[in-house]
Amino acid sequence: MIHLEHVTKEFAPKRGLFDVSFSVEPGMVFGFIGPNGAGKSTAIRQLMGLIRADSGHATIGGYDCWNQTEDVKHIVGYLPGEINLPGDFTGEQILHLMQKLHHSKPERQMELLERFPFETKTKIRKMSKGMKQKLALVGCFMKDAPVYLLDEPTSGLDPLMQERFLALIDEERQRGKAILMSSHHFPEMEKSCDRAALIKEGRIIIEADIHELVRSSRKQYTIEFGLGVHAEQFARQIGSERMQNQVSFVTTKQLTLNQVIRFLTEYDVRTIHSSADDLEHVFLHYYSEEESP
């Protein structure tokens, strides 16, 4: 449904997109992960026909994203990364305008407003970041389009709204929608995506099934011991260093979690803390690898 083939758009050296290719099929949620300025939004703008590629080809539903932009936008619901709307309009006026522009159904809007409630009579300039995000989500999904392009969709949302968003994404996937979403929020990507691509300096470092990515991750743990001497002994066993009564380590093929648990039965352990989410580790792993000479 969504296809990028060898797309290059260079703004400056290492700024833009370089030979980026990926596909998103109906019923698939594709995650686009990368630090700020990596090229995630540029790729999405390419698909929205806002930017013309130097080379390569971007299509949605068989339509060329630059030359057939009107056809593309008939089948796409878009959520921009930055929600900028005319400040004088109220939420209600914006939704009414979007409904007219996108030819969407009012029933769908009502249903979405129940999921993501906010005061629609408030003017945009008086709205908080979260309110604007909810307004943009309602505006995007009320189109009921076969394709969604979502740039940082949960930015500014509280945990309850994030959960509701994930439930909505799951429903849309089951209805056969093709969804491309970029995010820094790793737990939500882990929960919602089927495949993911990591992008850095405009190039895709890896693209794989999300579970495969997580399986290949190395996870960091911090153990707090009751006694300093135990921390010292354990640190020596695994070849690490202690920080007062704490020892941190990363699991590898040589140092598995099972092995560590066997060591720990000998000591007085107070807490075991896993420092970050799995996908975040995959991300950090690939990025640190890329940065090392």
Q: Could you list the residues that contact another protein (CB under 8 A)?
A: 9, 45, 48, 50-52, 69-71, 73-74, 78, 80, 82, 84-86, 88-89, 94, 97-98, 100-102
Burial class, 263, CB count within 10 angstroms (exposed 0-12 / middle 13-18 / buried 19+):
middle
CB 199, CB 168: distance < 8 Å = no
Residue placing its CB nearer to another protein in the complex, 50 or 255: 50
Q: How far is the CB of 45 from another protein (least distance, A)?
A: 7
The Cα–Cα gap between 218 and 256 comes to 10
Tally the residues of the chain: 293
Residue placing its CB nearer to another protein in the complex, 4 or 98: 98
Q: How far is the CB of 82 from another protein (least distance, A)?
A: 6
The Cα–Cα gap between 110 and 97 comes to 15
Two tokens, residue 77: 């619901």
Q: How far is the CB of 289 from another protein (least distance, A)?
A: 30
Residue placing its CB nearer to another protein in the complex, 86 or 117: 86
Q: How far is the CB of 285 from another protein (least distance, A)?
A: 31
Residue placing its CB nearer to another protein in the complex, 29 or 48: 48
Residue placing its CB nearer to another protein in the complex, 71 or 163: 71
Q: How far is the CB of 280 from another protein (least distance, A)?
A: 28
Q: How far is the CB of 51 from another protein (least distance, A)?
A: 4
CA 254 from centroid of its chain's CA atoms: 31
Q: Which residues pair with 10 in a beta bridge?
A: 16
The Cα–Cα gap between 198 and 216 comes to 14
Residue placing its CB nearer to another protein in the complex, 52 or 175: 52
φ and ψ of 176, to 5 deg: 85, 20
The Cα–Cα gap between 71 and 278 comes to 39
The Cα–Cα gap between 9 and 56 comes to 9
Residue placing its CB nearer to another protein in the complex, 85 or 169: 85
Q: For residue 198, give Cα distances in angstroms to 33, 117, 172, 183, 205.
A: 5, 33, 23, 11, 6
Q: How far is the CB of 181 from another protein (least distance, A)?
A: 16
Question: For residue 259, what are the contacts with CB-CB under 8 A and spacing of at least 6?
Answer: none
